[in-house]
A and B are shown apart, each in its own frame.
Chain A
Amino acid sequence: MIALVFAILVAVLMGTAIYLILQRNPMRMLLGLGLFTHAVNMLVFGTSVSDRGQPPVLLDKAAFDGDISQFVDPLPQALILTAIVISFGIVAFIIALLHRRHTLDLAGENCTDRVDDPFAHEPRSQLDAVDEDYEWLEDVVLQRNVERQTKESS
């Protein structure tokens, strides 16, 4: 039962995260990434939760008979702790990057018309295109136009 609850929780978190990541607003993207890592943390956490329910701590050492079947597995929680620290660091770094971008925007370094658009610098292409990248194409077009003109005039 508890596993089902976890599955639904992870699914909802993951869906929300992916929806947010696909937005063009960088703050939403950042929130989406945060949610995405949390969803995966919950997924890992879900592997330790079962119907056993006992914390892996011995209260009465003398009475312990070596039966560990009632204990919750503590390892995934250690894994999650590491993962949380890592994702926290990276999210903090992304915030710093976004802040730098914003500062550059305010200083007029970029030609963004909308500050909230992460790809507004080069709206034309996925390939981070700048004008010079496609000059060879312009050359080809120019050549073709010249040929056409000479053909028409003759």
Chain B
Amino acid sequence: MDVNANWLSVPIVLPLIGAAVALLVSSRVTPKQTRTQRNIALVTSVTNLFVALFLLWQTAGQDQRVALQIGLWPAPFGITLVADAFSAIMLTLTGLLMLCVMVYAAGTLDEREGLNFYPLLLFLLMGVNGAFVAGDLFNLYVFFEVLLMASFVLLSLGGRPGQVNGGLRYVLLNLMASTIFLAVTGVVYGTLGTLNLAHLAQRMDAAPDSLRVVVAGMLLVAYGSKAGIFPLFFWLPASYHTPHPAVTAIFGGLLTKVGIYALFRMYPLLFPDLLTQWQPLILSIAALTMLVGVFGAMAVNTIRRVLSFHVISQVGYMVMGLGLALSGNQLAAGFGMAAGIFYIVHHMIVKTALLMAGGAAELTVGTGRLKRGYLGGLVKRSPVLAGVFFVAAFSLAGVPPSSGFISKLGLLQVALDAQQWWIAGVSLLVSLLTLMSMIRLWQKGFAGPQEDVVAPLRRPNLRLTVAPIALLVAVSLAIGVFSGPFFEWSSVAARQVLDRQGYISTVAPTDQILPIGEQSH
């Protein structure tokens, strides 16, 4: 079935309109106006989720791609938006997480809610959605900047001392990474004369090796530092624990994954042979990212700091999926890619749930310190919250029947199949250490008696807080139990990502400029 390609612009335009309307509501935000803003944002993100689901059904369900040439400019000359199954999966997850975080924020936010929090979330949604459907390098850069700009403001919203410091580090390092990305864009345009991804894929094959290595390396640095891979992750633990828990939750679930998405998109499309040539490099980065993340998590002592470091260690698993994307022995080629995509799906859901639950625990008690006796006793005080945290934590560690088990099993299977024993060993070790770290969180944060009572500033609305976490945890369990269809969809996505010719023919870049009127639309 042919789908109207104009649907592709909806995930970008809709949040923009929503944010603009929500900003119109308020010059001075009163509680009532905040409520109006929240309602506008909720309506926008529900609609966005439905459009994303529609696109998911069109692409992953029908195994096809959709491309939109904006303004009917033929491919390399205009702005191209492309969605395949992978993009649609990411769009759907983004919509789901955004909706959950909005509900969660309504239940937990303090006076920062009045500082145009919801319009900022919508701008973030627009940037992330745009990055997932961008069909050329420069638009990808622009959408990265849109989402970064929104995230800068969200991170430092309220301007508390910790936030200002964390925000500075976050802004500085991310601006450096974006600028490096812009530099690659310049290098690519100067040498290959195009920025359209499909057109680049055609021309990259004929490019000299030196250029390919420079471009691939700089892209790895630029996207890698967004994703938080091994030597480039320092901005993440320095800033993620400083904002309000709702902001940490959406950042931990979404932002690093945009970098991962870009890596998953660029490498198979532009340099498929480098995926095999550079496999040792990519796998060692993956291993070091996992290890550093999990060891870092053991060394810090507040709930959200621990969880921030786990974001890094989990990114290692996804990079491992990228490294194993093309190697197949007994298993079908592309199984590694499918396992990586499945891991992203699992991670985005579980990590957001976990960060929301951990943040809610911090808010309920008034501190996040894991020192014995500070937190403690949450099992008795709010058993539902403790329950969802428990399930999410063990899903992150990979205990069956959660989605974490299936996704780790997939990666392990492909690592053993490709006879990369050492990376399989490292990933198992890190799983074990993650489990230890989760048990530590549980014992110090939730179980046991509470001795030193810290008074929270404002108790969160428990119903609004727990409902989105419970929803995400339920999705995680559903993915674990009914893993067949979900894995099938990631396989479709992986096949489409690895199929360069299909991508090129969908976008159909042309070197000819047709005068207006001679094309048939």
Contacts and interface: CB of A to CB of B under 8 A. Distances in A.
A132 B369 contact: yes
Contacts of A93: 149, 152-153, 171
Contact of B171 (A21, A83, A97, A100): A97
A79 B369 CA distance: 47
Contact of B185 (A79, A86, A101, A127): A79
Interface string B176-189: 10011011011101
Contacts, number: 114
Interface stretch (A41-49, A55-63, A143-151): A41-49
A27 interface: no
Given A126-B238, A132-B369, A100 B166 contact: no
Given A89-B149, A127-B238, A133-B305, A76 B179 contact: no
Given A36-B179, A44-B182, A132-B301, A94 B142 contact: no
Nearest to B300: A133
A40 B234 contact: no
A26 B237 CA distance: 20
B179 A97 contact: no
B272 interface: no
Interface string A69-99: 0000001100100110011011001100110
Nearest to B189: A47
A94 B168 contact: yes
Contact of B301 (A33, A109, A135): A135
A64 B176 CA distance: 44
A40 B149 contact: no
A132 B179 contact: no
A133 B367 CA distance: 13
B452 to A, nearest CB: 12
Contact of A87 (B179, B183, B186, B296): B179
B142 A90 contact: no
B186 A76 contact: yes
A44 B167 contact: no
Residue among A41, A87, A100 having the largest count of chain B Cβ atoms under 10 Å = A100
A79 B190 contact: no
B189 A109 contact: no
A121 interface: yes
A23 interface: no
Contacts of B153: 93
A128 interface: yes
A134 to B, nearest CB: 7
B302 A132 contact: yes
A93 B156 CA distance: 10
Contact of A110 (B161, B180, B305): B161
Contacts of A87: 175, 179
A33 B177 CA distance: 11
A114 B472 CA distance: 46
Contacts of A41: 182
Contacts of B148: 90
Contacts of A43: 183, 186-187
B interface: dominant SS: helix
A100 B190 contact: no
Contacts of A21: 172, 176
B138 interface: yes
Contacts of A101: 164-165, 168
Contacts of B185: 44, 79
A75 B189 contact: yes
Interface residues of A, number: 41
Contacts of B159: 100, 104
Contacts of A98: 168
A29 interface: yes
A55 to B, nearest CB: 19
Contact of B300 (A46, A79, A90, A127): A127
A47 B186 contact: yes
A133 B301 contact: yes
A75 B76 CA distance: 12
Given A97-B171, A104-B161, A90 B152 contact: yes
Interface in A93-149: 93-94, 97-98, 100-101, 104, 109-110, 118, 121, 126-129, 132-136
Contacts of A121: 161, 165
Nearest to B152: A93
B189 A40 contact: no
B145 interface: yes
B371 interface: yes
Contacts of A44: 182-183, 185-186, 189-190
Nearest to A118: B168
B299 interface: yes
A116 to B, nearest CB: 13
Interface in B291-331: 296, 299-302, 305
A103 to B, nearest CB: 9
Given A75-B189, A76-B189, A128-B238, A90 B171 contact: yes
A79 B189 contact: yes
B168 A46 contact: no
Interface string A9-35: 000000000000100001001000100
Nearest to A110: B161
A136 B189 CA distance: 53
Given A40-B186, A97-B164, A100-B156, 19 more contacts: A21-B172, A29-B172, A37-B182, A40-B180, A41-B182, A43-B183, A44-B189, A47-B187, A79-B185, A79-B189, A100-B164, A104-B159, A104-B161, A104-B164, A109-B161, A127-B296, A128-B165, A133-B299, A133-B302
Interface of A: 21, 26, 29, 33, 36-37, 40-41, 43-44, 46-47, 75-76, 79, 82-83, 86-87, 89-90, 93-94, 97-98, 100-101, 104, 109-110, 118, 121, 126-129, 132-136
Query: Which are the 10 A-B pairs with shortest beta-carbon distances?
Result: A47-B190, A44-B186, A40-B183, A86-B145, A133-B301, A128-B238, A43-B186, A109-B161, A101-B164, A132-B369
13 contacts: A21-B172, A37-B179, A41-B182, A44-B186, A47-B187, A47-B189, A83-B182, A86-B145, A93-B153, A94-B175, A104-B161, A133-B302, A134-B301
